Chains A and B, each alone.
Chain A
Amino acid sequence: MSGTRLRIGCSKLVSGIFLAAPLALASPALSQEQPQTPASEVNTQPTPQNAGQKQSTDISTLIKDDNQWPMAAKNYANTRFSQLNQITKDNVGQLQMAWSFSLGTPRGQEAAPLVVNGTLYIVGPYAGVHPNEVFALDIADGELKWSYSPKPDPAAEGVACCDVVTRGLAYDNGKIFLNTLDGFSVAIDANTGKELWHTKLGDINKGETITMAPIVVKGKVLVGNSGGEMGVRGWLTAVDEETGKIAWRAYSTGPDSEVLIGEDYHGPYDWLNGKDLGVKSWPPDKWKIGGGTVWGWISYDPDLNLIYYGTSNPGAWNHEQRPGDNLFGSTIFARNPDTGMAKWAYQPDPHDLWDHDEINESVLVDLTIDNQVRKVLIHPDRDGFMYVIDRTTGKVISADAYDYVNSIKSIDLNTGRPVLNDAMTPSLGKTVRDVCPAAPGAKDWQPSAWSPKTKLLYVPHQHLCMDFKTSDVGYIEGTPYVGADVDMYAGPGGYRGEFMAWDPVQRKKVWSIKEKFPVWSGALVTAGNVAFYGTMDRWFKAVDADSGKELWKFRVGSGIIGQPITFAGADGTQYVAVMSGVGGWSGAVAVGEIDPRVRNGALGFTGAMQDLPASTVGGATLAVFALPKNQKKAASAD
């Protein structure tokens, strides 16, 4: 008996069916990709005269039009900032609900709505009668234009680690792109709702699911897999938007030929250079079940022609089963979107001890640091540190703790490696107590927003610590591969979440709002200097982007873990929209068949959220807000 029998389709590296980008870029000039660009150069102020006139279907044009919200993160830089300024900090207190829409599902609603040319598109979680159903609604009055239900495999629920969420859709060229939990990528005609193609990308029998919002870059739909808790081998796949054919697939682990590391690659530190590190940094063959899945955010710099994304934790959670750095799990990649070839890779947490995925957003901004303009990405990491990284090279410029951290002492800027608190390193069967941050980190997938006006990053995050006890786990294909009993609880001070503004140049927190529960919603910030976020105990809040002062709040039907957006109608009305519908990993105890009295449930998140069911139950509903008519007139006259 060899002792290890694996059935993994790792050898099926799809040969490159490379198609030239079909889209001519409308303009080489950047706008939202460089959030510091003054508004006057963007010329997207919403007025009745120009609103609705632009009917471009090209994503690279749409992201420059603030009447639209054409991708989950608003733009390629992932700023979630809008130049719309009808709603200001002076009048936001007058916001009223304009219309709402129920998705008819009781599970976690993390997806962002998209708004393109007068239509709002939203997708529900993998639950209810029609899992991952897509809806198209008229933004003016919420009229339902069409809906589309993919053909589901209900068994997918059994291999989804952390509720059955999706983080949203993508749009380009008249098409809506959907990822289903059971591993398909689908293109739908944005006008009619008719299916154009569907492609199977993942296999639930290997534990693969898809939860991320795809993005479209130069005619390719970029899709990654989920399943870092299932011994899945992570990948990012580019699918041709016209045909549904796979153009390239970049694995996160394995030989360079499959990780797509070639001559263009240059690691930012010595230890990130070498042949086949995705094999050599693992015990024999463990890279085949090593995680590094791609379920978070992708940003894109058209100037450098690089996409940026992070990979999940290496598996299993029991680190003693995988000695080595475990590349390229918990890694930030920069890749060429045409070929998939890597430019650089940086692993903030080598040999991850705590389930610290690096899938969190990388927000692309240009900052003046020490009198030099630097092209950076800001990455609020699971490990509790705010990384400012040179996005041309992958070198860390600064890394500072933004929440209470006791598992890492500091980040060594010479090596790029963390200085660990060795006293906390788990060993088999021993309970380590009071580890901060907990497994979901100081911040998980919930995306930040960046305002070029305030030059602050608005960060929704959690404040949790945990007990952590590892156990030996065997790999059984299609079942979890974790090997840890976890129990999370509130961090120091007893609160569990925070919404804060961070100055990445001064490297400090400017203001913060403490919340009872983790802030598991995305953030939005506008030129009206208003920042929006939602809470798990059902408040949708608007705060002063300068001071954090609460300006307005509205009690919605269920806890908010969705992503707020803003857009404008044909009459110039500015809307703000958010999905309520509690769930996700943090909210699973309120919507899943999970016992709040057994703390180790939901990979330990039950412990921290056991009282959530006393504040909310599930139920996905879109809420759309606007100013009353007389307020809008006053704002327009300004």
Chain B
Amino acid sequence: MTIGALSLYRPVWEQSGNRVAGQDEDVLTLAVAAARPLAERHAVERVVVVTGTPDVVVGFGTGVVARALDLAEDAPVELRLGGAPALLDAVLSAGPGSLVVGVDLTGHAAASGAAWVTDGPGAELTAAGRVTGSLPMRVRAVGADHTTTYGDGRVERELATVPLVGRLRSADAPLVVGISPGEARRLGARSAALPAPGPAGVLFALAEASSWPGGTVRVVALDAAGGAAADFRPGPVEVVRDERPALSVDERPAVGEDVVIPFSMPAYARAFDAKIGMVAATCSCGETSYPPRQVCLNCGRYDDTRPTPLRRTGEVYTCVKVHVPIPGVAGPYGLAIVALDDSPVRVLAQVADVGRRETGIGERGRLVLRRVAVREGVPDYGYAFRSEFDAAGKGVPA
């Protein structure tokens, strides 16, 4: 299998040295954050999202992923449950044109990555062993808030980690995902700073290995009693990183009082394609409307339009910060009207990843998919404005 490109995403919020998700992020938005840069650059025929920590199982927004990535109508999006080994399995079994996305999302670490599989140039990944065992050191039942951990780390080390690494490694020091850097050293493994131990961690490890001098690297992915190994032969892999300077989680907007926000499924459905795909309507006279409208305000024609994809970059026309606590909305939050590039269209969006800093008129940035609200239990996705300035007011790539 050939990996042509890798994309890595970490949320901006930092807590105890780790990055954690924003209040407007979930497995789906983390997946899109990593996948979108590759979908913009390459033809994607199918998407597999691998996560060991699904937050939505029934009603997962595969359609949201498809529209947010501008996939073809018939492109399948699959949600697969599993840890680091499952990510290696997914890449090894993927055909050219596949995008394999890994998401780690827990209360203390969040990251995502994506790999684009190609039949063109890239880095080769070859299967090198698989072990499936049972040592349920950590268990989280569906609906449970916390994970139950068997309280003896040496049991995992002696019964799982040591024998698994022994069986899956090659003669050279392997790169192991799913164990701490200290454990890796003790086992004579190569060390890499990985933001998360699961599926996303594997993709960060591959990106790390792609820059190492020398030949093939054995990658071993562990998940308690299971493990998978693959040989990664570095090649021309494009690596895209979206890792902004950290912002303390103390500045992360938070929901104060909670409330059930009314939701209309028909209104959601009517808005969906244009909203999540960011597709405007252009009348035969040239007038562009977003959201698409039936009657052209320029020439009066009725429903004579073609869909027009919008750019996701633009400039703030006006913006405000909402300081007053609004029940059910994480705050303080910013609202901005953003004039999109190369288009007469402006969009209203919440401001993402900004902390205490106030966004200013004229700031440039990008619209990114976020979970804008949860209404009557239904996650509602849309676009938020992410400035090209970080929290300190310094420029970062949009």
Q: Do A and B bind each other?
A: no
